[in-house]
Amino acid sequence: MLTTPFTQKHIDLNAKMAAFAGYNMPISYTSINDEHSTVRNNAGVFDVSHMGEFILKGENALDLIQRVTTNDASKLTNGKAQYSCLPNNNGGIVDDLLVYCIEENKVYMLVVNASNIEKDWNWIMQFNTKNVEMHNISSKTCLLAIQGPNATKLLQPLTEMDIMNLKYYTFVKGNFAGVENVIISATGYTGAGGVEIYFEDKNDNANKIWETIAQLGIKPIGLAARDTLRLEMGYCLYGNDIDDTTNPLEAGLGWITKFSKEFTAKAIIEKQKAEGIKRKLIGFEMIDRGIPRHDYLIKDATGNTIGKVTSGTQAPSLNKAIGMGYVTIENATTDTEIFIDIRNTPVKAKVVKIPFA
């Protein structure tokens, strides 16, 4: 099993460890509810060094990104980032990702999901016909997400960069906690505010930054709470809510699908938009008692199967069970009554607007 530079620290802290995307990762340290609340109300640090990072360089780097992603990366200027996805030849989603503009028209960083690093690399490479310089820096890049409303206030004394006023989907690069060339971005996936810090795994950087953050009293948080936090915001998780069989429009990602440029499967997705999608990713909350889980069937009042749950949990901030799933378009309207098949029992729920929190 793969490890991150922080794996031994998690073990030393008695974290509950488990395999995730091939890595030995911390699932929780105390309890999901405690860690979730810590991030929502204060600040916590996640080790997300398992994520993938690619550097694309050269005069044709932007052209390649435009070709393989749905969003319009030409809008990016230095220090800005955007959320996007890689469509496959059928209009499905190879992966969702972040695109960072390091140097306009010349240098970009793509941040991809841990389970898709090799898949994404190979997918992008097949379109690299203009000799764009590509570097997979995933194995030597550390990534810590310090999330929560107090995160930037606690971290600001560690850097001269202004991170307290960092706008959403922007980033800065400089010295942080005595480490040079650290990227600090505001592209978090918890909805609680905070930043992510990228730095190279060398010269004891990982230990230095981890210990400095720990000395501030910022508690480590596991992936279980990360999942409940992102679900309360209605953020998609690759492999659950989106995958190679789902298209951006039905996943509610039309806002990152720009038909003003050419990209893979543009014609297919454009046709789907014109004809109208047949199903839609919805949020729902349970009315009756029960926890929705991935792949549970969703049914209508007469017992007809209308879809499947993609993500579900007991939401710590809301004290209620929530979930997301795909249903037929006729059943996707807010306040529509649906039923989740939990152990062969239909349990009442209703469609609600996302985000939940």
**Does 71 score more than 90 pLDDT?**
yes
Compute the distance between CA of residue 123 and CA of residue 138 in angstroms, rounded to an integer.
Answer: 16
Q: Which amino acid is at 324?
A: M
Residue 59 burial (10 A CB sphere; 0-12, 13-18, 19+): exposed
Q: What percent of the chain has pLDDT over 90?
A: 100
Which residue has better confidence, 357 or 319? 319
Which pLDDT value is given to residue 262? Answer: 97
Which pLDDT value is given to residue 357? Answer: 86
Going along the chain from its start, the domains and CATH numbers come out as 53-136 (3.30.70.1400), 278-352 (2.40.30.110)
DSSP string for 197-227: EEEES-TTHHHHHHHHHHHTTPEE--HHHHH
Compute the distance between CA of residue 251 and CA of residue 195 in angstroms, rounded to an integer.
Answer: 26
Compute the distance between CA of residue 301 and CA of residue 248 in angstroms, rounded to an integer.
Answer: 28
**Does 276 score more than 90 pLDDT?**
yes
Which pLDDT value is given to residue 187? Answer: 96
Three-state DSSP class for residue 307: strand
Q: Which residue has the tokens 């609340």?
A: 37
Per residue in 334-352, pLDDT (tens digit) is 999 999 999 999 999 999 9
| Both structure tokens of 155 | 């971290």
Ramachandran assignment for 317, one of left (phi > 0), alpha (psi -120 to 50 degrees), beta (any other): alpha
The residues that bridge with 87 in the sheet, in sequence order, are 93
Would the pTM count as exceeding 0.75? Answer: yes
| Both structure tokens of 105 | 């028209």
**In this structure, which long-range contacts are made by residues 200-203, counting pairs with CB atoms below 8 Å and at least 24 apart in sequence?**
200/140, 200/141, 200/142, 201/5, 201/49, 201/140, 201/141, 201/142, 202/140
Q: What percent of the chain has pLDDT over 70?
A: 100
DSSP 4: -
Per residue in 183-221, pLDDT (tens digit) is 999 999 999 999 999 999 999 999 999 999 999 999 999
Per residue in 84-110, pLDDT (tens digit) is 999 999 999 999 999 999 999 999 999
Q: What is the mean pLDDT of the chain?
A: 97
DSSP 93: E
Do 231 and 355 meet the contact criterion of CB atoms below 8 Å apart?
Answer: no
Residue 202 burial (10 A CB sphere; 0-12, 13-18, 19+): exposed
Do 111 and 53 meet the contact criterion of CB atoms below 8 Å apart?
Answer: yes
Compute the distance between CA of residue 71 and CA of residue 82 in angstroms, rounded to an integer.
Answer: 8
Q: Which amino acid is at 164?
A: M
Q: 296 pLDDT band (50/70/90 cuts)?
A: very high
Three-state DSSP class for residue 131: coil
Do 91 and 246 meet the contact criterion of CB atoms below 8 Å apart?
Answer: no
**In this structure, which long-range contacts are made by residues 75-80, counting pairs with CB atoms below 8 Å and at least 24 apart in sequence?**
76/101, 76/104, 76/108, 77/101, 77/104, 78/102, 78/103, 78/104, 79/170, 79/171, 79/172, 80/169, 80/170, 80/171
Three-state DSSP class for residue 14: coil
Per residue in 151-176, pLDDT (tens digit) is 999 999 999 999 999 999 999 999 99
Which pLDDT value is given to residue 101? Answer: 98
Compute the distance between CA of residue 86 and CA of residue 148 in angstroms, rounded to an integer.
Answer: 29
Which pLDDT value is given to residue 7? Answer: 98
Do 31 and 224 meet the contact criterion of CB atoms below 8 Å apart?
Answer: no
The torsion defined by the Cα of 37, 42, 48 and 52, in degrees rounded to 10, comes to 110
Which pLDDT value is given to residue 72? Answer: 98
DSSP 190: S
Per residue in 222-252, pLDDT (tens digit) is 999 999 999 999 999 999 999 999 999 999 9
